[in-house]
Every structure is written in C-alpha cells, then in structure tokens.
Amino acid sequence: MTLPAIPRRQLLKTALATAAVPLVGIPLTACQDDSTSRPDRRLPTAKLSLPMQTGPMFLSDAEMQQLRALVATIVPADTAPGADSAGCAEAIQLLLSAFSFSPPMIFAGGPFSNRAGSSVNHFEQFIELDSYETLAWKLRIEGTQGQSERTFNGEQRGWQSIYREGLAALDGLSPLGLRFVQMPAITQTLLLKTTSDAAIVAMMDIAVTQTMEFMYGAPEYGGNADLVAWRYTQYEGDVQPTGYTPEQVIEPDNPGLLELLGIRRGENQGVGGPRNTPRLGALLPVPEITDVPIITAILTRLIAMGSDEFSLAMMIDGQSSRERITAFVTAKQPKAPGEGS
C-alpha cells in the first residue's frame, strides 16, 4: 500500500528536534500556506561573500556534476526548492576545500548577521582556528593521509576520499552503462536506495546529513542560497540583535495539529475528569471523537507512517546511518519457515 507523503513544511515542523536522517527519495510535496497572525519578518536576499581564496577547490567539475545530481535526490525540487538550486553541492565543495581559504571556512563569525538590524554581517567573517582545531578538522576532512602527526589514533579516511570514491562509484550503478547524471531522477533514487556498494553507502551516510544541514542552515556556509529554504518553511532565521516583540513571544510560531483541527485544550483530561470537545472544522473529515489524547495518538501515528525512512530513523534515535537502518529493517523481516526464531 502506498501511503501519502508528508508535506515538507509539516515534516520539518514535526521533526525539528530530530537529527538529520536518510530521506533519499521521499517525495516532499508542497502544502498550503499555514502562516499565523505572527508579525511578518522580511528576509533579505543572502549573497555569499567568500574569504580570500588561497588554493584550488577539491572536487573537479565532473565530480560536481555528480554531486549536484546526488543532492537533488536527497531534497528533490518537486513543488518546493530542492537541494541543487539551494547550492548544497557547492556548500559541500566549500567544506571539502575549507583549508584552501584563509581563514578556513569552518566557523562563521559573530555575533550577528545583517538580516535583523545589524549593519555588518559578522557571519561572513570566518574565524581563525587554533592548532588543536586545525588538526581536528584536517583529520575529519582530509584524513590521516599517512602523516605521522595525524596517525596517533590510527589511519582514518577523511570526507574528501569518501566523497571522491563514492562519486566515482555512482556511474557503476546503471546496468545500461549510463552515467549517474544521465539517469532519470526516479532511477537515481531507486538505485541509491537499493545499492550495497560500500563506497556509495559510506558517502550517503555523510552526504544526507550535510545536504540537510546546508539546505536549512545559515547561507554563509554556502547552502540555502537566497534563503530559499527559510522562505519556503517560513523560518525567520537569526533574529538578533532586533529580537522578538512581546506579541511574537506570546503567539505560537505555527499551529499544531490540534490547533489545525480546532480542538480547545484544557486541564484535567484524565479518567473521570472533564474532556475537551473538538470544534471540528472543514480541514479534515475526522470522526466525532471527543477524547483529545486519542486524537493526538492517532495523528502522531499517521505522521510516523508517512515515510518508512523517517519513522525507522526515529526508532533508532536518528543516528543518520543508512547501515543502521538497513540492519534494523533486516532484523525485523519475518523469517521463513525453518529459519528458526
């Protein structure tokens, strides 16, 4: 049975506190405007101003083509902004090439951007790293590379080699000999979800998380170009130094599920106590259920059922690992007769 997709905006509201999880191929469709009476805060157009470049970018043009196609499968451009147009591939390129810049593009400065009252965008002024931070981030990005000063914990592959090997393996997915960028989007998604290629699986474990971070993060890191993700999700972004008005503090950011149904919240909903009576509107054809906890439980289950990947990742505490999810699914498959308990 094919279940309806969760609208991207609703999914993001529901999963705000959840770590980024493998969402490859989930159709995230648009939904109607659900803005509230909260005062509007206009987001300016964000333009990336890079630090002084002192070296080449890590990925080649051909590799960048592959990476753009890859991130487009993670956050597709259906009826909403996709990761490709948001510049997520370029942001990953900047991260992999962080030490080609001075200072390295690791930590944006502060305290404020120029999006909420500051005359200067301090986020564009990346900060220098100390020797400990430099070593830690070079290990993470570049790996040990056989250098004795980096092998105190043994050999370690960096993100650079993981991406390079994974992107190179993408073209081997097609049984027809097509390059990954030549395949239809639905074919790309299917092959990524079913492949057991170790290089691709290792790449996806970091690519999904980083794509989501750059898609919805501060644009100074290279993604969320022109704030497309913030505008679509109606996220106001960083609001300091202006801050919030008393009305904005009091009013809810967005309506919850019960508010959308018009259900009045109350106290003492336990056994024997008074119950709330929902004001059922025209939003959803729901039955006449007067117990708010029951409605809440039903709607929570429906949300979790909207996507296999999302619900499975929630169940394993959002570890952002395709291998963990695959192991979880395999363990839950019913065994054939004779295979034991």
pLDDT in tens, 141-199: 999 998 998 999 899 999 999 999 999 999 999 888 889 999 999 999 999 999 999 99
Angle at 314 between CA 311 and CA 319, to 5 degrees: 125
Q: How far apart are CA 113 and CA 194, in angstroms?
A: 42
pTM of this prediction? 0.65
* The pLDDT of residue 276: 43
Three-class SS state of 215: helix
Are β-strands 101-102 and 52-53 bridged in parallel, bridged antiparallel, or unpaired? Answer: antiparallel
Cα 84 to chain center, whole Å?
13
Q: Where do runs of H (alpha helix) occur along the chain?
A: 8-14, 61-74, 88-96, 131-142, 159-170, 185-194, 198-216, 228-233, 246-250, 257-261, 292-305, 308-315, 322-332
Q: Which residue has the higher pLDDT, 119 or 38?
A: 119
Label residue 265 by pLDDT band (50, 70, 90).
very low
Mean pLDDT of 299-324: 56
The closest of 230, 286, 176 to 9, measured between CA atoms, is 230
Give yes or no for residue 16 having a pLDDT over 50: no
pLDDT of residue 40: 45
Minimum mean pLDDT range among 39-43, 101-105, 207-211, 301-305: 39-43
Q: Is residue 89's pLDDT more than 50?
A: yes
| CA separation for the pair 212, 229 (Å, rounded) | 10
Distance CA(238)–CA(122), nearest Å, equals 12
pLDDT at 255 over 80: no
Residue 75 has pLDDT above 90, yes or no: yes
Residue 102: DSSP 8-state: E
In eight-state DSSP terms, residue 143 is: B
Residue 188 Cα distances to 193, 255, 328, angstroms: 9, 36, 24
Cβ neighbours of residue 264 closer than 8 Å, sequence gap 6 or more: 276, 277, 278, 279
Instruction: Identify the pLDDT of residue 100.
Output: 94
Token pair recorded at residue 98: 């962080």
Q: Which amino acid is at 138?
A: K
Report, in angstroms and rounded to the nearest whole number, the Rg of the chain calculated over CA atoms: 23
Q: Which residues pair with 102 in a beta bridge?
A: 52
**What average pLDDT does the segment 97-123 reach?**
94
Q: What is the pLDDT of residue 260?
A: 55
Q: For residues 122 and 241, what is the distance between their CA atoms, to the nearest angstrom?
A: 12
Beta bridge partners of 53: 101
What pLDDT is recorded for position 114? 93
Q: Give the residue with greater pLDDT, 176 vs 206.
A: 206
High-pLDDT (> 90) share of the chain, %? 48
Question: What is the C-alpha to C-alpha distance for residues 268 and 275, in angstroms, rounded to an integer?
Answer: 8
**How much is the pLDDT for 22?**
35
The reported pLDDT for the residue numbered 279 is 41
State how far the Cα of 136 lies from the Cα of 120, in Å rounded to an integer: 30
How far, CA to CA in Å, does 324 sit from each of 40, 79, 96?
A: 41, 31, 25
